[in-house]
Amino acid sequence: MAENNVVENVETNVPQHKLTNKELNSCFWRFVFFPMCTINYERFQTLQYFQAMKKVIQKLYPSKEDQIDAAKRHMAFFNTTPQWMGIPLGISCATEETIANLPKGEERTELENSVNVVKASLMGPLAGIGDSLDATIVAIIGALSAGFAINGSILGAVLMLVLGNAYYLSICYFGYFYSYRNGIKVIRDMNKSNILDKVMEAASILGMTALGALVPSWVGFNLTTNIQIGDYVLNIQQELNNIIPGLAPLVLTLILASLYKKNISSIKLVVLIFIIAFVMALIGLTA
């Protein structure tokens, strides 16, 4: 075994550069701890991406000239959902490792040119699924945490901190190390298994389930008028709850959702809610 990053290949006697856990972990923690820290309108997340790759480049390329060439490859424009950056980063680490062990020539040049092609092809789809999944998962975590917080419980803040970071770190860790171990094969696996569509479908189902459960708790809409029928007093709200608990808030939510789909702005819907509440309070249907 040669010094530091050079491992002697016994069969071919060709020096092989190999990343160790030290460099891989350095790349991982750099992008995990500093999401969006260098974002700008010219290159967005490029500097963050390059900073994460710094130790990897230094380990794989002893030559200053090769380090500069690699640095230029990773200074191209890049932007995606922060935690999903781990997937292209893992692929980049695996690709750079392969490049470092190839002799100068056409094959190495083609692989060098493919680095930014892969990054550019991934950042759009990953941003689409990442932003959508974040909107669903973070909303669910926030709703659960807020439920405790509005009652004055510190558990609300603890839940948001623990669950939010658990989601963030799990996406970062799995995406990065899985992509490094499998390299370009990750893209083929994604296309073959259609995993992005499956994740989006699962997230949508989870989000709609959580939303349905939260409607009765978060939408305050109760009918208070009782109807006298002979000696019997009909409690409207109780009867509705006997049919489906939380039916009144659910109906109101569905009506507002259908109006919103018809391009009625949220401001107009707020005004509409105010008017409905005012009229129903005047005639004694609500408290």
Query: Quick one: tokens of 75?
Result: 């200074």
Is the pLDDT reported for residue 30 higher than 60?
A: yes
Q: Is the Cα torsion angle 53, 54, 58, 64 positive or negative in sign?
A: positive
- pLDDT tens for each residue of 224-279: 666 666 666 666 666 666 776 777 777 777 888 888 888 888 888 888 888 887 88
pLDDT exceeds cutoff 90 at 58? yes
Residue 30 contacts residue 49 (beta carbons within 8 Å): no
CB neighbours of 195 closer than 8 A, spacing ≥ 6?
Answer: 189
CB 175 within 8 A of CB 87: yes
Mean pLDDT computed over every residue of the chain: 79
User: Is it the case that residue 9 has pLDDT exceeding 60?
Assistant: no
Give me the percent of the chain exceeding a pLDDT of 70: 72
Residue 215 vs residues 94, 191, 208, 220, 283: alpha-carbon distances, Å: 46, 37, 11, 9, 25
Residue ranges per structural domain of the chain: 3-207, 220-282
Section 141-162 average pLDDT = 88
Alpha-carbon distance of 70 to 108, in angstroms, equals: 12
Per-residue model confidence as pLDDT tens digits over 88-134 = 999 999 999 989 988 888 888 888 888 888 888 888 888 878 887 88
Model confidence at 28, in pLDDT bands (50, 70, 90)?
Answer: very high
What would the mean pLDDT of 16-43 be, rounded to a whole number? Answer: 87
pLDDT band at 205 (very low <50, low <70, confident <90, very high): low
The secondary structure of residue 103, as a DSSP letter, is P
The answer to whether 45 touches 80, Cβ cutoff 8 Å, is yes
Q: Confidence band (pLDDT; 50, 70, 90) for 187?
A: low
| Strands, E assignment, the chain | 6-8, 15-17, 226-229, 232-235
User: What phi-psi label fits residue 194: left (phi over 0), alpha (psi between -120 and 50 degrees) or beta?
Assistant: left
Phi, psi of 8 (to 5 degrees): -80, 125
Count of H-run helices and E-run strands, the chain: 11, 4
Which has the higher per-residue pLDDT, 183 or 196? 183
The whole-number pLDDT of residue 3 equals 41
pLDDT for 8: 40
- CB contact at 8 A, 251 and 188: no
Does residue 4 register a pLDDT over 50?
A: no
Q: Which of 124, 135, 123, 128 is nearest to 204 (CA)?
A: 135
- Report DSSP letters for 145-185, one per residue: HHHHHTTT-THHHHHHHHHHHHHHHHHHHHHHHHHHHHTTH
Residue with tokens 């909107």: 135
- Specify the higher pLDDT residue, 14 or 203: 203
Phi, psi of 282 (to 5 degrees): -65, -40
Share of the chain above pLDDT 90, in %: 22
Q: What is the pTM of this model?
A: 0.63
Residue 175's nearest CA partner among 203, 155, 195 is: 195
List beta partners, residue 228: 233
Give the residue, 285 or 47, on which the prediction is more confident: 47
